[in-house]
């Protein structure tokens, strides 16, 4: 009888240890996983406007010329397509200005009022930017002018007017600033024949 009690007690202790380890493992799994899930759920809930307006360009500046043009495209698409407050417009215009080279900024005589008028007029005429496509880094032309690195990169915007959509092709000109950040120096619409 003594051996049977010892065997039963040993089995009970082993079962309790296994259950405790399973509970501890499940707890650790949920603790490690929990905050990431909440963060990604919150990010999914954020609108494109909120994602742009909360972006800190001082800490999260796009590292490549291509990503600078992509962020420009995202902001312009949000301006043309989304609903936002006057404060959110001002913040998005500020984010755009944060991507611009100082030379471009200094040549803006009516910033951001000119942008606001352009966007309001286009939206009133039922224009929107459906999507955009930035050329690959391999297609980017680079060089040096006056000691500054420069880059030229194409971006095609799908501009919808009413029910029809047409591509509008732009060439973006970028220059690296003294901090090594690519800044938009300017852009121009180019003909689709230029391919």
Q: In this predicted structure, what is the pLDDT of residue 28?
A: 74
Q: In this predicted structure, what is the pLDDT of residue 44?
A: 52
Spatial distance between the Cα atoms of 70 and 174, rounded to a whole number of angstroms: 13
Return the bridge partners of 129, or none. 159
Spatial distance between the Cα atoms of 11 and 21, rounded to a whole number of angstroms: 15
Residue 50 in domain: no
The whole domain housing 36 covers 1-45
pTM value surpassing 0.85:
no
- CB 140, CB 66: distance < 8 Å: yes
Are 39 and 124 in a shared domain? no
Q: In this predicted structure, what is the pLDDT of residue 83?
A: 92
Give me the DSSP letters along the chain. -HHHHHHHHHHHHHHHHHHHHHHHHHHHHHHHHHHHHHHHHHHHHS-HHHHHHT--TTTS--SSHHHHHHHHHHHHHHHHHS---HHHHHHHHHHHHHHB-HHHHHT-SSTTHHHHHHHHHHHHTTEEEEEEEEPPGGG-EEEEETTEEEEEEEEEEEEEETTEEEEEEEEEEEEE-TTS-EEEEEEEE--GGG-
Q: In this predicted structure, what is the pLDDT of residue 26?
A: 67
Q: In this predicted structure, what is the pLDDT of residue 42?
A: 46
Are 38 and 124 in a shared domain? no
Spatial distance between the Cα atoms of 137 and 17, rounded to a whole number of angstroms: 56
Which CATH number is 190's domain given? Answer: 3.10.450.100
Are 160 and 133 in a shared domain? yes
Are 158 and 129 in a shared domain? yes
Are 67 and 156 in a shared domain? yes
Q: How many domains does the chain have?
A: 2
Q: In this predicted structure, what is the pLDDT of residue 33?
A: 66
Are 29 and 83 in a shared domain? no
Are 34 and 71 in a shared domain? no
Are 37 and 68 in a shared domain? no
pLDDT digits (tens), the chain, 195 positions: 577 777 787 877 787 778 777 777 766 767 676 555 444 444 456 799 999 999 999 999 999 999 999 999 999 999 999 999 999 999 999 999 999 999 999 998 899 999 999 999 999 999 999 999 999 878 899 999 999 999 999 999 999 999 999 999 999 999 999 999 999 999 999 976 544
């Amino acid at each position: 009888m003594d051996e049977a009690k010892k065997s039963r007690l040993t089995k009970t202790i082993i079962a309790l240890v296994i259950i405790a380890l399973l509970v501890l493992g499940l707890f650790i799994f949920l603790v490690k996983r929990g905050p990431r899930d909440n963060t990604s759920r919150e990010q999914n809930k954020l609108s494109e406007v909120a994602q742009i307006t909360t972006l800190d360009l001082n800490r999260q500046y796009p590292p490549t010329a291509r990503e600078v043009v992509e962020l420009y495209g995202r902001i312009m698409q949000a301006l043309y397509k989304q609903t936002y407050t006057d404060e959110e417009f001002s913040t998005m215009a500020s984010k755009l200005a944060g991507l611009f080279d100082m030379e471009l900024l200094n040549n803006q005589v009516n910033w951001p009022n000119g942008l606001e008028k352009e966007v309001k007029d286009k939206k009133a005429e039922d224009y929107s930017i459906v999507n955009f496509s930035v050329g690959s880094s391999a297609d980017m032309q680079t060089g040096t002018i006056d000691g500054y690195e420069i880059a030229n990169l194409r971006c095609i915007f799908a501009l919808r007017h009413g029910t029809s959509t047409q591509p509008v092709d732009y060439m973006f000109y970028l220059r690296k600033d003294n901090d090594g950040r690519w800044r938009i120096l300017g852009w121009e619409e180019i003909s689709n024949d230029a391919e």
